Amino acid sequence: MALVTVEDLGVRYGANTVLRHIDMTVEPGEILTIVGPNGSGKTSLLRAIIGAVQPASGRVTLKPGLRIGYVPQKLHIDPTLPISVERFLRLTHRATRQSCAEALEAAGVPDLSKRQMSQLSGGQFQRVLLARALINKPEILLLDEATQGLDQPGSAAFYRQIETVRTETHCAILMISHELHVVMSASDRVICLNGHVCCQGSPAVVASAPEYRALFGTGTGGALALYRHDHDHHHHDHSQKAAE
Amino acid sequence: MFDDFMTRATLAGVGVAFAAAPLGCFVVWRRMAYFGDATAHAAILGIALSLTFQVSIFAGALAVALIMALTVTFLSGRGYAMDTLLGVLAHSALAFGLVAVSFLSGVRIDLMAYLFGDILAVSRSDLLVIWGGAALVVALITWRWSELLTATLNEDLAYASGFNPKREQLILTLALSVTVAVAIKVVGVLLIAAMLIIPAAAARSLARSPESMAVIAALIGAVSSLAGLRAAYVFDTPAGPSIVCVAAIIFAAFSLTGMQSRRKLH
């Protein structure tokens, strides 16, 4: 069965509707990427899946007993909080020293366990977050723009690590990304979101979909040429404009 | 041994230090120092009410501190910045409390005793309340330690791990109210926040893990109580403020040596 099933999901913050009529599933072992402009509800969708926001309508069903590994968009550790990498990894799961070492190895930072979290570089920090997510052998990894703040080589290396993780552990990966070239090369499936699901399918299908082009322009070979667009866009109009 | 007022005062001080240390660490980590202040200021209103209705000071202070803490939790993230909200609520509660006290005709109360505490007047039953409250707070925080830490780091991480960070916030709020209520007699309303924050902040430069920071903070708090009371006895100074002074001196000493050793590393 699907790991995550989202049916007719709507999310509202006060009077502000951020998501409406979302239907999607995440199947075991697939890499599914959510793309969309700022304010399109990507993070809200992820937060609804982990239960951090209550749906205003519809529902989110997780496979019973699903093990989730979550890598947040940003994590701020106050400098007054002393905590070593190993202690951080063992925070929520009573993990053994052995499994900490394995998780750090899998995340590509095997030698950091004794370091203080406050001493890590941006790239190391993100990999430790990844290691923390891997420690309970998740069936699904959720990544919310996990490479924010990393430079281009840093984020490319990070995504290669994600692919390695998938190959080795066969866990499903649901990620939000701004980096279209990464999305197009690494994903099995792409969902283009803008308050609702604009289009979805394999990267090739999505890249050629007029809805996607309306949001991101025609250059999909890695260019981040975001066209100016209206958030309440009409697909038809924009696709015409994009084709012009 | 409980017959001696100095013994009782020392035990009271150490009891408050033990409750305040782990809680103070969370107050520092979560940057909610003013939250402690606000809760404590509200306690004056609680004292006035408990004198009016002839219930125990502890119960009145606890109830109002709790209401205050819950109000702040409820209102946060609804329009006003946290520090503005706390400023409004803390000082209004203090003002209303002081006005309410002035209405109490017939009862002459020594307001200074509540503002600055009167640790030397701690009775046996006060000791029971203080150690009972401290035990409750330490037990609560120990029980939820990992969850509280996770929720402090990141709320979504808590959700993804399958528990509700709002509930953890509520546990901290509850523990804070209990600590404020039991500490009123010892250091008074104006200096409770000092007992929360100063030992925890002083422990930071020595600690390598969250747990060791809480333990070191408890030791610093206990030493401050002992030395502060001793100093108050020798120099005939007010007891509560003397305890806070000692804690502040320890903080200054540790921060300076911490800065020095860090400079050597570079």
What is the rounded average pLDDT for all residues in chain A? 83
Q: Enumerate chain A positions whose Cβ falls within 8 A of a Cβ in B.
A: 47, 50-52, 68-70, 72, 75-78, 80-84, 87-88, 91-93, 116, 142
Are B72 and B85 within 8 A, CB to CB? yes
DSSP annotation of A3: S
Tokens 């990507």 locate to: A42
Q: What is the pLDDT of residue B1?
A: 56
C-alpha torsion angle, residues B241, B244, B245, B248 (rounded to 10): -160
Sign for the pseudo-dihedral over CA of A101, A106, A111, A114: negative
Q: What is the pLDDT of residue B221?
A: 96
Residue B222 has pLDDT above 80, yes or no: yes
Inter-chain residue contact A75 with B30, CB threshold 8 Å: no
Q: What is the pLDDT of residue A222?
A: 40
Q: What is the pLDDT of residue B264?
A: 57
Percent of chain B's residues with pLDDT above 70 = 94
Q: What is the pLDDT of residue B108?
A: 63
Q: How confident is the model at residue B68 (pLDDT cuts 50, 70, 90)?
A: confident
Q: How confident is the model at residue A92 (pLDDT cuts 50, 70, 90)?
A: confident
Q: How confident is the model at residue A239 (pLDDT cuts 50, 70, 90)?
A: very low
For helices A97-106 and A122-134, what crossing angle results, to 10°?
120
Inter-chain residue contact A91 with B153, CB threshold 8 Å: yes
- Residues A80-104, mean pLDDT to the nearest whole number: 87
**Could you tell me which chain B residue has the CA closest to the CA of A142?**
B160
DSSP annotation of A189: E
ipTM: 0.80
Measured between beta carbons, the chain B residues lying within 8 angstroms of A75 are 153-154, 157
Q: Are strands A4-13 and A57-62 parallel, antiparallel or unpaired?
A: antiparallel
Which domains are seen in chain B, by residue range? 5-190 (1.10.3470.10)
Computed over its alpha carbons, how large is the radius of gyration of chain A?
Answer: 19
pLDDT digits (tens, 9 = 90+) for B113-166: 788 888 888 888 889 999 999 999 999 999 999 999 999 998 888 998 888 988
Q: Enumerate chain B positions whose Cβ falls within 8 A of a Cβ in A.
A: 28-31, 146-147, 149-150, 152-157, 159-161, 201, 204, 207-210, 212-213
3-state secondary structure A102-131: HHHHHCCCCCCCCCEHHHCCHHHHHHHHHH
The two tokens of residue B40 are 């404590």
What is the rounded average pLDDT for all residues in chain B? 87
Gap from A131 CA to chain B (nearest CA, Å) = 13
